[in-house]
Amino acid sequence: MTLPGPTEVASPPAPVEPAALPAPLRALLEAMLPAAWLVEPTRLLVVAANPAAGALFGCSAAELAGQSMRTLAAAPEDLIFWDELAAGRGGHELLSDTLVRRFDGGTAAVTRRIAPVQTDGGRLYLVSLHDRTEQLRTERALETTTAELAATLESTADGLLVTDLAGRIRHCNHRFAELWGIPEDLLLRRDDDAVMDWMRRSVVDPGPYMRRITAIEEATMMHASDQIVLHSGTVLERITRPQCTGGRPIGRVYSFRDITERIAAHKRIEQLSHNDLLTGLPNRALLADRIERALAQTQRDGTPFALLLLNLDRFKHINDTLGHGVADRVLVEVAERLQACVRQIDTIARLGGDEFVLLAQRSDAAGAEAAARRVMEALQRPFTLDGLKFTVTGSVGIALHPTDGAGTDQLLGHADAAMREVKQSGRNAYRFGSPHAAVPESLLRTRMRLDHAMRQALAQQRFRLHYQPQVDLRSGAVLGAEALIRWRDPELGEVAPGAFIPVAEESGFIVAIGDWVLRQAVAQAALWHARGRSLRVSVNVSALQFRQPGFVDGVAATLRAAALPAQWLELELTESILLQDAEDTLARLHALARLGVHLAVDDFGTGYSSLGYLKRLPIGRLKIDRAFVKDLPDDAADAGIVSAIIDLGRALQLQVIAEGVETEAQRNFLRQAGCDEYQGYLYSPALDVRSFESLLAGQAETTPRVVPLRRHPGRVGYDGAS
């Protein structure tokens, strides 16, 4: 449509004498709501106009009278109509959308109708207009809103489906089609039934799915959240809410989210918490649960039961000569054989390493003995792996309830002592535990000697702390350090913590050592902090130390004395600490977390923590035990475990650090698996303060450093000795 240029704009002309118009017609014109006027067909002049017409053109009705239609019409279609009419060829009606030109030069969009009116004085033409300006503005605003809404729908990560009350599709986004795998042409056909049918056929359980949809559609105000499993294996979370206007439902919005990974992580958490990863057998936690139940049963009706603890003989030898891969397969086969030789009601669990427990229900001494014999027989058949034939034997210690002990720990302790006796007297046999099994005297002597030497070492300040850098896997920056105790005794030489810490734990002296370590490490962290090189220092905490009544206050006081902000201290706790007396542990952990101290689970994966329980603890990170790192990336089982722990960490929003990283290949694997930090000989062993500081000084803030695989200089077999 061509609009007239600004120079052609009409100006209000002098009013002309209106032609004589019948009074009823004038009254009718005046009364009309839409803009209207009458035109005589020869000179095309306005005979009379109503006030609405004046308002539309921006003048008075009187000023319109006498105007020529040639100036008032703005569109070619109108001009042609009037010209034809003046030339005597017109006489038709005209109804269409057009533009009129106002006196101020602007134009107005209108729907215009021209129709002839016969009067006594001859034929006139009635022009009536409906102003469309407001309608067009509303339409444009609606278009913008719709476009914005569509963009919003497309930009969400969720699949969205909007239906009306009858279940017809009013809108959906691409993500919706993607999640359900709906082909594009199906959507373009706008065949709602076909789309609904596609969805029905995609779900694993169409029956319950359809029943639920019907229920949702019937209850128009219902809010609902469901999980839907598709044939593809995808698990969708569907949330639906009513869509309302003016408080009344007009349809429904469904949103779909892919929660497949979340579900898988959850399942893995559940499985990890109850089953041994390698063999799939129940783990210690599940075993403890079953023992508790058996204990309760005995209490109710006196039914006895037996615990048989099986430790494979010289398994270390298999590990060393045939490698971990074969050793793992031996464990798996042992597990299978054991399962095959017990009754349905019994439980075979793996405690870790090469140690298994059989819980023989309803068994007295005779029953337990029969079970032990079956176990020995099951092992007797030779193993054939990789074309290699060999035999595996085991030593079994037996504890009976109620005769040998009242609780799980006590029973397992007696079975363990009996098993050790079997080992000492030549292996490959079983023996019943006695409540007073003795620790061999030679062992007692070394322990006493160590204990005495340790007490002197503390008094004479022979303990030192070394620090092992903890490195960000992505940037290569040193973010923290683990404080590790070192002890050189004038008589015993360098004693590895793995040798003396367990003795200190047994005698209780660990509390004093732990106090010293904490004070020392916090003082060191404070020094670094004051010098502007703040580092998170991790301190190992023993179970006994953690359980001391004043432990949390002691930590707070130590931090205060050194003026170290709590965030720079991390406490490494073992899984066994977390499993103790749940309520007290929880209270302590929360008190520590409130202080601002970080908490880590050390040697993660070796214990039996129920991960469902871990979820509820204020733990900041998991430390993957180096046993799992050692054979990365080649050992498939370890690679699986490590990836699972990292996934778990992610699911529980915990940081993950791996320890014992010795090779580039291990580091690469961990980085790719999404692990956050690592520590190990690859970067550096634990160093004395001075060496540690010079390593930091040499470290370019963000570039990864590679230190060749080496033991601590001048200390043979120390760091790796534990």
Closest CA to 291 of 422, 432, 420, 404: 404
Instruction: Establish if 376 lies at the interface with ligand C2E (CB under 6 A).
Output: no
Query: By C-beta, is 397 or 469 nearer to ligand C2E?
Result: 469
Instruction: Establish if 255 lies at the interface with Mg ion (CB under 5 A).
Output: no
Residues 183-212 interacting with ligand C2E (rule: CB under 6 A): none
Instruction: Establish if 603 lies at the interface with ligand C2E (CB under 6 A).
Output: yes
Q: Which residues of 397-418 are buried (b: 16+ CB within 10 A; e: fewer)?
A: bbbbbeebbeebeebbbbbbbb
* Stretch touching Mg ion by CB under 5 A, among 456-464, 488-496, 536-544, 552-560: 536-544
Query: By C-beta, is 603 or 676 nearer to Mg ion?
Result: 603
Query: By C-beta, is 312 or 485 nearer to Mg ion?
Result: 485
Query: What is the crossing angle of helices 582-595 and 551-562, to 10°?
Result: 10
Show the binding pattern over residues 34-73: x = contacts Mg ion (CB under 5 A), - = does not: ----------------------------------------
* Stretch touching Mg ion by CB under 5 A, among 256-264, 466-474, 599-607, 664-672: 599-607
* Options 603, 631, 662, 676; binder of Mg ion; rule CB under 5 A: 603
Closest CA to 41 of 78, 2, 88, 73: 88
Query: By C-beta, is 378 or 661 nearer to Mg ion?
Result: 661
Query: By C-beta, is 63 or 572 nearer to Mg ion?
Result: 572
Q: Are 331 and 354 a contacting pair, CB within 8 Å?
A: yes
Helices then strands, counting H and E runs in the chain, come out as 27, 26
* Stretch touching ligand C2E by CB under 6 A, among 22-30, 93-101, 370-378, 495-503: 495-503
Instruction: Establish if 720 lies at the interface with ligand C2E (CB under 6 A).
Output: yes
Instruction: Establish if 497 lies at the interface with ligand C2E (CB under 6 A).
Output: yes
CA distance 137 to 722: 80
* Stretch touching Mg ion by CB under 5 A, among 77-85, 240-248, 414-422, 564-572: 564-572
Q: Are 108 and 131 a contacting pair, CB within 8 Å?
A: yes
Q: Which residues of 584-615 are buried (b: 16+ CB within 10 A; e: fewer)?
A: ebeebbebbbeeebbbbbbbbbbbbbbbeebe
Interacting partner of 680 out of ligand C2E, Mg ion, none (Cβ under 5 to 8 A depending on kind): ligand C2E
- Shortest Å distance, C-beta 305 to Mg ion: 35
Q: Are 368 and 360 a contacting pair, CB within 8 Å?
A: yes
* Options 78, 602, 638, 647; binder of ligand C2E; rule CB under 6 A: 602
Query: What is the crossing angle of helices 206-218 and 192-202, to 10°?
Result: 130
Query: What's the Cα-to-Cα distance from 434 to each of 143, 225, 400, 403, rounded to whole Å?
Result: 87, 57, 10, 10
**How many chain residues touch ligand C2E (CB under 6 A)?**
26
Q: Identify the residue whose tokens are 């503005």.
A: 137
Torsions phi, psi of 106, nearest 5? -80, 170
* Stretch touching ligand C2E by CB under 6 A, among 344-352, 493-501, 525-533, 688-696: 493-501
CA distance 390 to 174: 60
* Stretch touching ligand C2E by CB under 6 A, among 173-181, 362-370, 418-426, 654-662: 654-662
Query: By C-beta, is 375 or 657 nearer to ligand C2E?
Result: 657
- Shortest Å distance, C-beta 721 to ligand C2E: 6
Closest CA to 284 of 381, 351, 188: 351
Residues 534-563 interacting with ligand C2E (rule: CB under 6 A): 540, 542
Interacting partner of 662 out of ligand C2E, Mg ion, none (Cβ under 5 to 8 A depending on kind): ligand C2E
- The C-alpha angle with vertex 659 and arms to 658 and 664, in degrees rounded to 5, equals 80
* Stretch touching ligand C2E by CB under 6 A, among 291-299, 344-352, 454-462, 655-663: 655-663
Query: By C-beta, is 41 or 649 nearer to Mg ion?
Result: 649
Query: By C-beta, is 256 or 546 nearer to Mg ion?
Result: 546
Q: Are 209 and 228 a contacting pair, CB within 8 Å?
A: yes
Give me the amino acid identity at 150: A
Interacting partner of 514 out of ligand C2E, Mg ion, none (Cβ under 5 to 8 A depending on kind): ligand C2E
Query: By C-beta, is 153 or 510 nearer to Mg ion?
Result: 510
Q: Which residues of 276-286 are buried (b: 16+ CB within 10 A; e: fewer)?
A: bbbbebbbbbb
Query: By C-beta, is 383 or 463 nearer to ligand C2E?
Result: 463
CA distance 255 to 266: 22
Write the DSSP symbol of residue 12. Answer: P
Instruction: Establish if 540 lies at the interface with Mg ion (CB under 5 A).
Output: yes
Q: Could you tell me the maximum CA-CA distance found in the chain, to the nearest angstrom?
A: 140
Query: By C-beta, is 173 or 574 nearer to Mg ion?
Result: 574
Query: By C-beta, is 395 or 542 nearer to ligand C2E?
Result: 542
Closest CA to 482 of 631, 717, 683: 683
Instruction: Establish if 602 lies at the interface with Mg ion (CB under 5 A).
Output: yes
Pairing of strands 159-164, 169-172: antiparallel
Tokens of 396: 């079994």
Query: By C-beta, is 195 or 601 nearer to Mg ion?
Result: 601
E strand segments, 381-489:
383-385, 388-390, 394-401, 430-432, 463-472, 478-489
* Stretch touching ligand C2E by CB under 6 A, among 25-33, 195-203, 293-301, 659-667: 659-667
CA distance 465 to 550: 23
Residues 516-535 interacting with ligand C2E (rule: CB under 6 A): 517
Interacting partner of 503 out of ligand C2E, Mg ion, none (Cβ under 5 to 8 A depending on kind): none
Show the binding pattern over residues 671-690: x = contacts ligand C2E (CB under 6 A), - = does not: --------xxx----x----
Instruction: Establish if 163 lies at the interface with Mg ion (CB under 5 A).
Output: no
Positions touching ligand C2E (CB under 6 A) are 468, 484-485, 496-498, 501, 514, 517, 540, 542, 572, 602-603, 626, 659-662, 679-681, 686, 719-720, 722
Positions touching Mg ion (CB under 5 A) are 540, 572, 602-603
